[in-house]
Amino acid sequence: MQLLVVADALEHFKTYKDSTFAMMREAARRGWTLWACHPADLAWVRGAKVTALGARRVALTGGEHDWFTVEETRDLALADTGAILMRKDPPFDSEYFYATHLLGQAEREGAHVFNSPAALRDHPEKLAILEFPELITPTLVTRSDAAIRAFQAEHGDVILKPLDGMGGMGIFRVKADGLNLGAIIETLNKGGAQTVMVQRFIPQISEGDKRVLVIGGEVVPYCLARIPQGQEVRGNLAVGGKGVVRPITERDRAIAAAVGPKLAARGLLLIGLDVIGDCLTEINVTSPTCFAEISAGSGFDVAAMFIDAVERAIKPLMPAS
């Protein structure tokens, strides 16, 4: 069975914590043949199938730095593989959007893509929570300066964030005094040209911004709580947050049960829910992470659960032998 990973450059992976690497390692352990390409390598021409130009067949070495070798390089039709993992990191820009359309065409030609390209387009990571208002903190999405100011006046302590950020990028906290709110609005909405999300501040961030993974509609029983350090309001690991593995709570399980099966039915095999306190704050669908951290801290094999789900998903779709 062949597995094609569409991702950023393998050479830049930090294998000790990279979730895509964990997926590849588990697939290789089960005998899958591994291929890799970049979104920029995808191409289609009339009369042929969507192809990864110059796809690389790789073998894992077990090393930390030179962790793979290239066994073969050739053009690979996506429909000829067993499964494709779309694991390109955000931002979700125009090129990412175009890549999902090429992957959608590959699906029509018989390829099995996870997560579903159409579902990736339909569930922007910040905005997907709007479908579940009962699970989230008071939230505003707008370009309007006046609407942002009114929301902050009503709720006092708020968080402002861009819709296309990742890793905590561009997140601001404004307290009840409104200090510097005008400058922050100018920075984020760029004179009304860009949409901003504003949420009431959740004090339980001090206990961690939890990453709860849901695979095939089933919740992973442990989460990674990313705890802000020092004077930082953000818990993201990318900005210095401390990761602590914990069993999920009953509230985490309830949130996952409300969201996971519904999104799995739409083709989102893997999602990462961000939960602060009792509130869902984000639904990550492009390349959810924390496999390595959760597995190391709990002993639960997240990658095995994921590849199990991939194999279950493709089995009824494979042609009879």
CATH of 204-301, one of 3.30.470.20, 1.10.1060.10, 3.30.360.10, 3.40.309.10: 3.30.470.20
Per-residue pLDDT for 287 more than 70?
yes
Average pLDDT over residues 220-246: 85
Q: Is residue 243 a contact partner of residue 17, using CB atoms and an 8 Å limit?
A: no
Cα–Cα distances (Å) from 213 to 224, 253, 293, in that order, read: 9, 10, 12
At 236 the pLDDT is 74
Per-residue pLDDT for 282 more than 80?
yes
Confidence band of 168 (pLDDT split at 50, 70, 90)? confident
At 317 the pLDDT is 58
Identify the active-site residue in 161, 200, 210, 293.
161
Domain(s) labelled CATH 3.30.1490.20 in the chain stretch across 138-201
- Cα torsion 65, 57, 26, 108: sign: positive
At 43 the pLDDT is 98
Q: Is 253 known to be catalytic?
A: no
Q: Is 173 known to be catalytic?
A: no
Confidence band of 237 (pLDDT split at 50, 70, 90)? confident
Q: Is 284 known to be catalytic?
A: yes
Q: Is 282 known to be catalytic?
A: yes
At 238 the pLDDT is 72
Superfamily of domain 138-201 in CATH is ATP-grasp fold, A domain (3.30.1490.20)
Q: Is 250 known to be catalytic?
A: no
Q: Is 64 known to be catalytic?
A: no
Confidence band of 321 (pLDDT split at 50, 70, 90)? very low
CATH of 2-118, one of 3.40.50.20, 3.40.50.620, 3.40.50.1370, 3.30.420.40: 3.40.50.20
Confidence band of 199 (pLDDT split at 50, 70, 90)? very high
Q: Is 211 known to be catalytic?
A: yes
Average pLDDT over residues 36-49: 98
pTM for this entry: 0.93
Domain(s) labelled CATH 3.30.470.20 in the chain stretch across 204-301
Look at strands 222-227 and 218-219 and give their pairing: unpaired
Identify the active-site residue in 115, 189, 236, 284.
284
Q: What count of other Cβ atoms lies within 10 Å of the Cβ of residue 261? A: 13
Sequence-separated (6 or more) residues with CB below 8 Å from residue 38: 6, 7, 8, 9, 88
At 169 the pLDDT is 80
Domain(s) labelled CATH 3.40.50.20 in the chain stretch across 2-118
Q: Name which of 212, 123, 221 is nearest 115 in CA terms.
A: 123
Identify the active-site residue in 226, 236, 252, 293.
226
Identify the active-site residue in 210, 234, 252, 293.
234
Average pLDDT over residues 51-55: 98
Identify the active-site residue in 211, 236, 252, 293.
211
Q: Is 274 known to be catalytic?
A: yes
- Cα torsion 67, 273, 164, 160: sign: negative
pLDDT single digits (tens) 140-166: 999 999 999 999 999 999 999 999 877
Per-residue pLDDT for 208 more than 80?
yes
Q: What count of other Cβ atoms lies within 10 Å of the Cβ of residue 279? A: 19
